[in-house]
Chains A and B, each alone.
Chain A
Amino acid sequence: MNIKALLKSLLLRKFTTGLLILQLSITLGLLINSVILALDTNNKLAQETGLDIENTLIISLRPTSGEYRNLDYYRSIVSEDLHQLSKLSGVEGVSLMNQLPINKNGMLGNFYDLDDPEIIRKDKYLRDVKFFISNENLGNTLALALLEGRFLTKDDQLDFGRNEPGNVVITNSLKKALYGDDSALGQETNNGRIVGVVKDIMLDPTIPVDKQYGVFDNRAMEFIFTGRFYLLRVTPGQVEAVRNKVSDTILAVQAERDIYRIITIAEHMKRFYSHDKGLAQLFLLLCGLMIFVTAISSYAYSQFHISRQKKYIGIRRALGARKKDILLYVLTENWLVYSIGCTLGLVMALGFNILLSQYISLSKPDIMLFILASVVIFVAGTIATLIPAIKTSNIPPVIATRTV
């Protein structure tokens, strides 16, 4: 294979070769970044949450009638709801809460130890601690892992209207932020006394892993109008069966409710990232189209230049080149162009990555990805130009002698 000669002949058709190289490099650049986007999204979805995401159901509901303004009425309905739900076969735990984990923002507030109120100046995340208004069953329903102390009990539910904070349970990262390695049990905070510390669960994926500050109390019944979400812990395998019965069960208790979503935590997480995922999919779609278009170009390029070289192919055959020598010659010519295109494509990929990073968050490309993407380009291009290449190898040597 006379590579130098091949390169020289490429130089003689600068325009068409240049166009193809540009297309190849842009395609590679976009392909790499689209794959990065897709991988990033998958990584986000695969993060450890600390929750049983497949087997925990979230029911989002709101009462529709004005009767629920009567809080005692509201409470009685909710109690009956929870009771009926716990009786469903497959349901192992029932609770309710004001907001969900795996969410940006929500019900947030200041949280600090009464002996050190200034700490919120040093750690801004302590001003946005997630407050979960729930009941004593939350620990069981979410399978929260206890690290210190205990979870909340029925006794932790204070009389309504008492305006003093009760007992609370906090997440581990909150404990570390306030107390370091010391115990948090019995400490008095601006929102109650700490009776337990649980292992972190994913509260907000957009903030650092060690800042998942959350506090749980047993005041859902008191502030019943905040209880927008019911949670069900379900036996593995029974999720669909339970999901189908939830609506009827709740509406049977009292029909004036709008149950607008019944999903697992896994589905909730997917919803959280659906915009990211949608974008990644759109990018991949665009890539597919681009590869298609570039393959057409490669075909046209190959076809055009081969048709002008018929005579010379014939000469090679006359001098003793076999069909597979010609095939290799044509393919090598294409591969040479692809190589140049892919090398330039690396530069493009880095450039696009920087450009796109202005708008979205994107990991940096790595060598493995570049190699894989180049392989895709090579394979796609070779498939596109295979038929013209084979046709070319079939050019008979007698063409060399024709003068027309």
Chain B
Amino acid sequence: MPSNSMFVYNLTLAMQSFRRAPTLYFLIILTLSIGVGVLCANLALVNSMASDPIPEKSANLFHINMNTWPDDQPPDEPMHILRYRDAMAIAESKLTKGSAIFYASGVYARDAESSSMKRFDSEVRATTPGFFELTNAPFAFGSAFEKSRGMEIVIGDELNKKIFAGKNSVGKTLELDGELLTIVGVLKPWVLRPLFYHPTEGRAFNLTDDIFAPLETAIDLGWSIHARSSSAVNYTGIEETRDKDVYYLQAWVELADMNQKSALQSYLDNYSQQLKDAGEHPLAIKNELHNVNEWLKVNKVVDQKVLAFTLASVLFLSVCIFNASSLLLPRFHAAKFEVGLRRAIGASNRHMLVQGLTESVLLGLFTGVVALVLSWLFLKLSVQFLPRLTNLAVLEPKLLVLGMLLALVTSIASSLYPLYRANYYTISAELK
């Protein structure tokens, strides 16, 4: 099998080449892998920020903005938060495959049956039960609560680990803010990057919530709003807000197809028109539906600063490639005598090229391995500088592959000109 042994021969030659100038190749591998590693780490961050967290459904889930502010000085046009009556109009439309109306809150949770007074700060999503189906929330134990009222809750895996050591806690009671609520469902570990259902107010990279509670219950218990809210009137507690112009609820719907989408759009526009006719909708009618990826884009979830830094790391990689090229040039230049000799004894141009390429591919492999390690290190380092990115600093498998590819490509790219120069000289000139 001549091609196989040729390949092995080339590999051997490459290894010999490395051994003959170890410092040089060390430097080349070092600088190339730093360049690739840094870029890879940044791409990992951008990937986390730009990925579709729910690809199986992202085109069918829509967030709703409306423009029903009661006077002509709205905080935004349209607004991404709705008042109770508007949100309920959406939920009751029956034109959707499913809907979720929610707001974000927070309570301190305690195991009601425990003697310890230890309380855990918990993120709460007060929501209608359609939320779980809509977001494909994965259940480990139990199931969702069925109504928007009642003292039943679903908790997340993190909180379950903290309070109940990860065991099946369905049926157990938590004391939340002085009230007792029963756990009917526990979620599996649920990572959403980004947190598509609530990317506003800088929450795009938060973890999924700890406690999911029925919407009406939360309102009645007066659990305060922890995210954006705007109000046209004064009010003291959230219990009062059902019939007031207090905007704080968000609405998501699942639509089966474009027909449902246009049906819902008409319905919303109709609803707004009715308000207008009653003199209650001074602003223009602007009901907007954004699917998951559109909504993430509108909210500029990809951190601009990280993008800027990614740009800089592309420049850095190019400097590293130029550097490797200028380090390889004298190396191939020094090897010219050997090249001339080999050519004189019958190696063709193609042979020499393949030999050179084998060397650069091998170099690329070594670089790739080091680059991935550096990439992981650099991710950890970035989080020190930019703690906001903690939940994003993960190296998914596709990035490992990308890193390897980058290393190979850059290694070959750096070798191109030196290889060309090395093989360019005539045989006799080198053997003299």
Taking a contact as CB atoms under 8 Å apart, the answer to whether B385 and A300 are in contact is: no
| B residues near A301, Cβ cutoff 8 Å | 326
- Would you give the shortest CB distance from B71 to chain A, in whole angstroms? 10
Chain A 22-62 near chain B by CB (<8 Å), digits 1 or 0: 11001101100000000000000000000000000000001
Candidates A223, A279, A355; contact of B309 at CB < 8 Å: A279
| B residues near A72, Cβ cutoff 8 Å | none
Assembled-state Cα–Cα distance A256/B427 (Å): 87
Taking a contact as CB atoms under 8 Å apart, the answer to whether A67 and B316 are in contact is: no
Candidates A20, A289, A303; contact of B316 at CB < 8 Å: A289
Taking a contact as CB atoms under 8 Å apart, the answer to whether A293 and B34 are in contact is: yes
Candidates A65, A127, A281; contact of B108 at CB < 8 Å: A65
In the complex, chain A residues 9-30 whose Cβ is within 8 Å of any chain B Cβ:
15-16, 19-20, 22-23, 26-27, 29-30
Taking a contact as CB atoms under 8 Å apart, the answer to whether A360 and B308 are in contact is: yes
Q: For the complex, is B224 an interface residue (Cβ under 8 Å from A)?
A: yes
Taking a contact as CB atoms under 8 Å apart, the answer to whether A356 and B308 are in contact is: yes
Residue of A nearest to B72 (CB): A121
Assembled-state Cα–Cα distance A258/B121 (Å): 8
Taking a contact as CB atoms under 8 Å apart, the answer to whether A127 and B224 are in contact is: no
Assembled-state Cα–Cα distance A303/B21 (Å): 15
| B residues near A62, Cβ cutoff 8 Å | 108, 121
The stretch that binds A, out of B93-101, B174-182, B259-267, B360-368, is: B174-182
Taking a contact as CB atoms under 8 Å apart, the answer to whether A360 and B305 are in contact is: yes
In the complex, chain B residues 339-374 whose Cβ is within 8 Å of any chain A Cβ:
none
Q: For the complex, is A283 an interface residue (Cβ under 8 Å from B)?
A: yes
Q: For the complex, is B73 an interface residue (Cβ under 8 Å from A)?
A: yes
Assembled-state Cα–Cα distance A66/B110 (Å): 11
| B residues near A121, Cβ cutoff 8 Å | 73
Taking a contact as CB atoms under 8 Å apart, the answer to whether A278 and B386 are in contact is: yes
Interface size class of A (residues with CB under 8 A): 35 or more
> Per DSSP, are chain A's interface residues mostly helix, strand or loop, or mixed?
helix
- Would you give the shortest CB distance from A25 to chain B, in whole angstroms? 10
Assembled-state Cα–Cα distance A225/B237 (Å): 10
Candidates B38, B312, B322; contact of A22 at CB < 8 Å: B322
Residue of B nearest to A258 (CB): B121
Q: For the complex, is B304 an interface residue (Cβ under 8 Å from A)?
A: yes
Assembled-state Cα–Cα distance A315/B207 (Å): 72
Assembled-state Cα–Cα distance A40/B307 (Å): 19
5 extra A-B contacts, CB within 8 A, seeds A15-B329, A163-B234: A16-B329, A256-B119, A282-B386, A283-B312, A300-B327
Sampled A-B contacts (9; CB under 8 Å): A30-B312, A66-B177, A255-B117, A279-B309, A282-B309, A283-B309, A286-B316, A289-B34, A360-B305
Spell out A's residues near B (CB within 8 Å): 15-16, 19-20, 22-23, 26-27, 29-30, 62, 64-67, 69, 110, 120-121, 127, 163, 223, 225, 255-256, 258, 260, 274-276, 278-279, 281-283, 286, 289-290, 293-294, 296-297, 300-301, 303-304, 307, 352, 355-356, 359-360
Spell out B's residues near A (CB within 8 Å): 27, 31, 34-35, 38, 73, 75, 108, 117, 119, 121, 175-179, 222, 224, 234, 236, 304-305, 307-309, 311-313, 315-316, 318-320, 322-323, 325-327, 329-330, 333, 382, 385-388, 417
